[in-house]
Copies of this chain bind each other. A is one copy, B any other.
């Protein structure tokens, strides 16, 4: 099943429940943010080894949180008429120009300097 078919399934799921009335862009963005928090919560207070243990022990739940984010994100993109795969491809191209490999390679400092989420 490809992303287009998944998107069809998401639309059907929503429309069979008449939930599009609640799925305005602002609440969808809130939902994505909350689901991202549920994923992150698995790793709270944990050092790298404990994170790895958590991933083994709670694999199903973590996969489910990742799927929740992906489902809301796919629906939001679809609602806004955005082709998600094209948007990703375009963004990878933009990032490749913004962070030339030879300039930022392997350096935490450079990574930090150039690669912050806010930039």
Contact = CB atoms under 8 A, between A and B. Distances in A.
Interface of A: 1-3, 6, 9-10, 13, 16-19, 21-22, 24-27, 29-46, 48, 50-51, 55, 59, 62-64, 66-71, 73-74, 76-77, 80, 82, 84-92, 94-96, 99, 101, 104-106, 108, 111-112, 115-118
Contacts of A70: 70, 73, 77, 84, 87-88
Contacts of A22: 45, 108, 111
A51 B24 contact: yes
The copy count of this chain in the complex is 4
A69 B1 contact: no
Do most interface residues of chain A lie in helix, strand or loop, or is the interface mixed?
helix
B106 A21 contact: yes
B42 A29 contact: yes
A85 B1 contact: yes
A42 B29 CA distance: 9
A87 B108 contact: no
Given A13-B96, A80-B62, A41 B85 contact: no
